[in-house]
Structure 1
Amino acid sequence: MQHTLLRALGLALAAAALLAARPSLAQPAGDAALGSDVFSTHCAECHSVKDGRNKKGPSLFGVAGRQAAAVPGFSYSDAMKASGWSWTPQRLDAYITLPKQALPGGKMKYDGLADAKARADLLAYLATLK
């Protein structure tokens, strides 16, 4: 029994060490400079990064940490308004990966960004828009 407890404690300590070594989930691990290029290629046609300037999609200025459907002057889908989401890095990542799957009934026409590195870079860039 003592051996089992020691083994469980060892596994718990190893898991804690792995979690501590991980990059913070609050700060994306990507490259913001590369993320600017990803934004230009995949997002800029529909989204602005200027505060208060909406295009086909809402401005993404200050999106990191913001409540979903909160940009004044943008007409959001009922699904987005009802989501209750906050744009955490995890939520943004899931949404950018497959928007129609992440939010059925949403209005975004983008099919998604499968490249995890490009998404990490994009998230790092979006986090700089304050």
Structure 2
Amino acid sequence: MTTASNENQSPKNLIQIITFNVRATRTAGDDGIIPWINIGRGNEEILNLIDAEEIIIPEHEITVSIDYPLANPASFNLFSSIGFSRKLLLIEIREQFLTFSETESLDISAIDLVALDVYKTNAGKIEITLDIDL
């Protein structure tokens, strides 16, 4: 099977929505929790990420697809022997946005990661799309 056919399998079934909650350090909401991660402040916010170490995707290989706000949608594969925690996913996604900020002139301080939509293809592959706010 070719890479292109792996990436374009359908249908995909939504199996999980992963959220990010951060203890507020600058401005507090009603309960002091912010329901997103700012990509530009990711290093700071990761310290206050709730359930950061929880393994939320037990699979060892996933594909992350990013379309918005990129001019050219991109995807990348991640591998982990123990599965993926919120912290690990945030670190990897932030690194990709740092790379994109150089090539696409993105202002990553304006990008908030609200959630991850986790899909399973008919072939059993895990694909993640990002729920982004600008």
TM-score w.r.t. the length of structure 1 is 0.27
Q: Quick check: which has more Rg, 1 or 2?
A: 1
Greater per-residue strand proportion: 2
TM-score w.r.t. the length of structure 2 is 0.27
